[in-house]
Structure 1
Amino acid sequence: MKRPAFAWLLGLWLALASAAAPAHAGEIRVVDDRGVAVSLPRSPQRIVSLLPSLTETVCELGQCHRLVGVDRYSNYPASVRALPQTGGGIDPNIEAIVALRPDLVLAATSSRGVPRLESFGLKVLALEPRTAAGAQRVMGVLGQVLEVRDAERVWRAIEAGVSAAASSLPPPARGLRVYYEVSTGGYAAGPGSFIGELMDRLGARNIVGRELGPFPRINPEYVVRADPDLIMIGQRNVAGLAQRPGWQGMRALREGRVCVFSADESDVLVRPGPRMAEAARIMARCLSDKGRK
């Protein structure tokens, strides 16, 4: 009688012990923007980032020291400029990345190098936020991967900064019809992009139709017909603006309502991540200055 009782108790103890200790203690599992489930045996200590917004998010979460390499466009915070560069997000230097022995590579979903990186056995987390909600989600995913508990608090501070920028605008700066040119070739920020969302929160009216997508390529005649009150454009793209067919007659150029952002300001504005509050302040300053004319 005693032997079966002992065997039963031993079996019960083993079952409870098994339930209390997971088979993969410390393992982290997340789903990236490809819909791919990525499993990591532990929180990564050696990270290569191939997208500036992801680089900035890692650092905003206080984990800059885990970065061992970045893409050629990652330039903030200043400390990342000293790290080895591994090509661009679209054209990463695979050999250089492999040589850095990363535990994890952060890449855009649009990066052509992801399959090849994975063929070398590297863990790749593909994340590419296009909206504010996407940036918030990415911060949450990276917070989980990096085991940073206050990622949500960090995001709330960003949101508060955007709201403060919106509240600072005087009435004349609201309701302006705006064209925001993101890059050369006439690519604009549509209402569905994170830039378009910031414009909306600041009370600006985007001349680009929502049906055209987040970052559509716009025909110059489309802008002429829309005749915006204000144009926002980066210093890199402004050359020859007044020489575009029909543009000299537009209200924005006639009245000097053109905000030309420096290279540093453009970097802030086009990266959906932790500097979105700063982006809102830059945009609010533009609206405030030009809305008074």
Structure 2
Amino acid sequence: MSLLNFRHHVFAGAFIAAAFASPAHAEEPRIVSVGGSTTEIVYALDAESDLVGVDSTSLYPKAAREFPDVGYVRQLSAEGLLSLRPTLILAGAEAGPEAALTQTEAAGVRIVKLEEGYTPEEVAKHIEAIGAALGREEKAAEVAGIFRADVKAVLAEVAQIKTHPRVLFMLQAGRGPMLVSGKHTAANAMIELAGGVNAVSEFSGYKPFSPEAATLAAPDVILMASDTVEALGGAEAVLSQTALAPTPAARDGRLVSMDALYLAGFGPRLAHAIHDLAAELHPEHEFAPLPARPWTEAE
């Protein structure tokens, strides 16, 4: 083979490889959604047909679990993201590490990163931001408008409640130690939105469970993710723990469990999650049901 032909073959091969790897040459949108609430928004905007991958926290709706999994939201790799040849990555605030996103963006992939925020208005802004990124502004405006109205309705009811139970949120972090939620967390925000008071306010974030501190916090209600309660042997087993047994929550048998993503995901189902948690925290009040929405009724 002549030198000229050799160079021609090398150039052609490199061009084909680049065309295959570069999203700029993709004919159709190829979206990777990273973050459970981010994926929920994609479905709420009827854009799931453009998805080619999600992260491992994208558990709702169930159909999202059928897509290729790029890994845990906080432990992404550029190689894993780029292997799906995405044209757009929608990244929740918790997505990382930053180096993986930077490398992916340097490869020519557009990334829309959402801002962290544990307020209903932040969720509405996330819906609008994803709508803009997907070219579905009109649909996003519709969904955000309905979402805001639902939140307004449930918060108006919560504002009427005179009782404010002390709530202790406990989290099992994988195989690690039990953690409790302080300030500036999704759990803290949900407790307050539902008319409760976080029983732990001495620190921010999540810290390892201290039996003595749990007893001193004297919670009226223990709040946990459903899978954590199941892993610990059920509500009775949880409330009978030495640290919790002396608390008002154990005395009154008040343990509330909810699906983790529903409870703390801060996605388009937030208004309904606030409603359901508020109903558990305030059994003396009969909350008016919120209308079912397509994004709350998906399988």
TM-score, normalised to structure 2, is 0.71
What is the aligned partner in structure 2 of residue 192 from structure 1?
184
Q: 1:228 aligns with which of 219, 233, 254?
A: 219
TM-aligned CA deviation for residue 279 of structure 1: 1.1
Structure 1 SS opposite 2:184: coil
Percent identical residues: 26
Q: 1:142 aligns with which of 118, 130, 140?
A: 130
What is the aligned partner in structure 1 of residue 297 from structure 2?
none
Q: Measured at CA, do residues 65 and 92 of structure 1 come closer, stay the same or move farther in structure 2, by a change above 3 Å?
A: same
Q: Does 1:99 align with 2:83?
A: yes
Q: 1:111 aligns with which of 67, 81, 96?
A: 96
The runs of 5 or more residues in structure 1 that have no matched partner are: 1-39
Q: Which of the two has higher C-alpha Rg?
A: 1
> Is the CA contact 1:190–1:213 (under 8 Å) kept in the aligned structure 2?
yes
Q: 2:272 aligns with which of 272, 278, 283?
A: 278
Matches within 5 A, 1:241-280: 241-242=238-239, 244-261=241-258, 265-280=259-274
TM-aligned CA deviation for residue 276 of structure 1: 0.4
> Is the CA contact 2:166–2:219 (under 8 Å) kept in the aligned structure 1?
yes
C-alpha separation between the residues in 1 aligned to 2:168 and 2:284? 13
Q: Does 1:154 align with 2:146?
A: no
Over aligned residue pairs, what C-alpha RMSD do you find?
A: 3.2
C-alpha separation between the residues in 1 aligned to 2:167 and 2:226? 17
TM-aligned CA deviation for residue 212 of structure 1: 2.1
Q: Measured at CA, do residues 256 and 173 of structure 1 come closer, stay the same or move farther in structure 2, by a change above 3 Å?
A: farther
C-alpha separation between the residues in 2 aligned to 1:162 and 1:136? 10
After superposition, the C-alpha distances for 1:46-93 in whole angstroms (9 at most, x for unaligned) are: 110121111111221222222111112212223322222222212235
> Is the CA contact 1:220–1:244 (under 8 Å) kept in the aligned structure 2?
no
Q: Does 1:66 align with 2:55?
A: no
TM-aligned CA deviation for residue 245 of structure 1: 4.2
After superposition, the C-alpha distances for 1:130-150 in whole angstroms (9 at most, x for unaligned) are: 312432332222122122224
C-alpha separation between the residues in 2 aligned to 1:282 and 1:252? 19
C-alpha separation between the residues in 1 aligned to 2:178 and 2:219? 15
Which amino acid letter does the alignment assign opposite residue 193 of structure 1?
Answer: T
TM-aligned CA deviation for residue 234 of structure 1: 1.5
What is the aligned partner in structure 1 of residue 228 from structure 2?
237
Aligned residues: 248
What is the aligned partner in structure 2 of residue 81 from structure 1?
65
After superposition, the C-alpha distances for 1:78-120 in whole angstroms (9 at most, x for unaligned) are: 3322222222212235434323211111234541222332343
The runs of 5 or more residues in structure 2 that have no matched partner are: 1-23, 287-299
Q: Does 1:180 align with 2:169?
A: yes
Which amino acid letter does the alignment assign opposite residue 69 of structure 1?
Answer: G
C-alpha separation between the residues in 2 aligned to 1:54 and 1:140? 12
Structure 1 SS opposite 2:245: helix
Q: 1:164 aligns with which of 153, 159, 162?
A: 153
> Is the CA contact 1:91–1:111 (under 8 Å) kept in the aligned structure 2?
yes
TM-aligned CA deviation for residue 208 of structure 1: 2.1
Structure 2 SS opposite 1:203: coil
C-alpha separation between the residues in 1 aligned to 2:148 and 2:172? 26
Q: Measured at CA, do residues 167 and 125 of structure 1 come closer, stay the same or move farther in structure 2, by a change above 3 Å?
A: closer
C-alpha separation between the residues in 1 aligned to 2:182 and 2:41? 24
What is the aligned partner in structure 2 of residue 207 from structure 1?
199
Structure 2 SS opposite 1:125: strand
